[in-house]
Chains A and B, each alone.
Chain A
């Protein structure tokens, strides 16, 4: 077979398979267009802008600066401090959220709770579907020194006051608590779904064999919760690395930069028309999210 015949053969083959699948391409067309225009194009644009000078970034012929924005961002002490802060916050928030969610789910799943299980589940899940802006607005005022219920309650119990969002020492913890309120219900739900699939007879056998409750938890229940731990870990890592709305609503990065996380720092640069550095920062954060997300996914192995 000579070359042109071969080409013809392939074209014919491709054409007939295309004709066979044509209706499916038609079905997928709107989905593909939206993905292309509002998903992939912005990402490519973002990467492109990160290699151009901010002042010319939106012009038809932007000035290319190579890795200039990246080296500027990576040499910037404000960004490095913000990155360290983001990582610290992520570790604290993931630990607090998953720890709380695991304990609460174990309690709800245990024979200690008779009636009210649905109510206890709904109570922690309602904040997940509450618009985050509204939730964090209420929290901002709960922390307020003169209006807030939190300090009024502490005073009533003669406990020392809580600096909340006003003090650099406590602002990160205050944001963390509000975010836990908003997100933890989701992790509880995932743990509960996994617990419902656990083999009860294993725990019973262990009990008959004389295993203490904490031994049963550590050696029987937790290994069976591996899929939920993997899913929650990946979701929580991605969630808290990107913490944004809570900062916009409650602190604007303050006080004294105490809650200026990377996504907010990038947004501020964007707001100051520093498009090049903003998108460079965004791309760095994306790389971190991908590496940590995939890493934890591999490490915990969801197939287990």
Chain B
């Protein structure tokens, strides 16, 4: 194809660069806001480099209001890790069974029911979930939060997609050798599934770290709040402690941003596949 002129290529790069700068600017502004005093910001809202880096905000949010920062951070880590592990185990086994026996009536019903519940608007599902948690006595504890966060459509589609591509000959050979289904899953299928397990785990971590509404609804006290929920309640409470709000936003954003930058190919590939094949 005809090669575009140098001028056209420069223009294209400039446009893409400008769009990228606009998308990244909020991050720079957030980071700078976390280290600049409120007075400094009011006098020059646009500046990114602080005159004198100021760490007051991190001290002020450590024990601001009802949620101690450390507790919220530990909650975030614990709830995200536990729900990710559970999501991977439960969805992998479920999707495996459903792809191995696609014609079993019970599994057809299960798949349809699962898809229906994933289509139901999330924030509207969470409202009746409050009633379910109440009936099960799970309100206010970690168990309810972790269990609810362990079910998601992307995870299911990625596993289902992978298990459908398993070569039937491999499974047949194993059956002839007298392997039981459990041995087959543990010794043959799971080792082959390592990459997709890693992808699903990474994506689940990113998605569940960001969850706030179910956590807020199932929590009875701020003791089980995660970082996003703490940020939401604190930004009302802190009022115009702009610096504190930016510091807490930064703490909330940093872990998933780092995980994403390290595993970007896996994450973007997995999300594309989960969306298109679903």
Contacts and interface: CB of A to CB of B under 8 A. Distances in A.
A267 B257 CA distance: 30
A163 interface: no
Contact of B98 (A28, A138, A242, A293): A28
Nearest to A271: B127
B151 A227 contact: no
B125 A42 contact: yes
A290 B118 CA distance: 12
Interface stretch (B58-66, B67-75, B164-172, B242-250): B242-250
A13 interface: no
A278 B100 CA distance: 41
A32 interface: yes
Contacts of B55: none
B19 A32 contact: no
Contacts of B256: 129-131
Nearest to B150: A34
B245 A141 contact: yes
Interface residues of A, number: 96
B9 A285 contact: no
B116 A43 contact: yes
Q: How big is the B interface, by class?
A: 35 or more
Nearest to B38: A147
Contacts of B21: 123
Nearest to A180: B23
B151 A38 contact: yes
Interface string A100-133: 0000100110111111100111111111111111
A71 interface: no
A53 to B, nearest CB: 15
Interface in B237-275: 240, 242, 245-246, 249, 252-253, 256-257, 260-261, 264, 267-268, 271-272, 275
A152 B44 CA distance: 8
A53 B240 CA distance: 41
B94 interface: yes
Contact of B9 (A45, A112, A121): A112
Nearest to B210: A131
B56 interface: no
25 contacts: A31-B90, A37-B147, A38-B129, A39-B114, A39-B116, A42-B131, A43-B125, A111-B9, A112-B4, A124-B23, A131-B227, A132-B212, A135-B26, A138-B249, A141-B242, A141-B245, A146-B45, A149-B29, A152-B46, A181-B23, A204-B1, A227-B276, A231-B275, A282-B127, A286-B120
Interface of B: 1-4, 8-9, 11-13, 15-17, 19-21, 23-27, 29-30, 33, 41-42, 44-46, 89-91, 93-98, 100-101, 104, 106-107, 110, 113-114, 116-125, 127-129, 131-132, 134, 136, 147-148, 150-151, 180-182, 185, 206, 209-210, 212-213, 227-229, 231-232, 235, 240, 242, 245-246, 249, 252-253, 256-257, 260-261, 264, 267-268, 271-272, 275-276
What 6 A-B pairs come out closest when comparing CB atoms? A31-B94, A112-B12, A39-B117, A123-B20, A42-B128, A282-B124
Interface of A: 21, 23-25, 27-28, 30-32, 34-43, 45-46, 49, 58, 104, 107-108, 110-116, 119-135, 137-142, 146-149, 151-153, 156, 181, 185-186, 189-190, 193, 200, 203-204, 207, 227, 231, 235, 238, 241-242, 244-245, 248-249, 263, 266-267, 270, 278-279, 282, 285-286, 289-290, 293
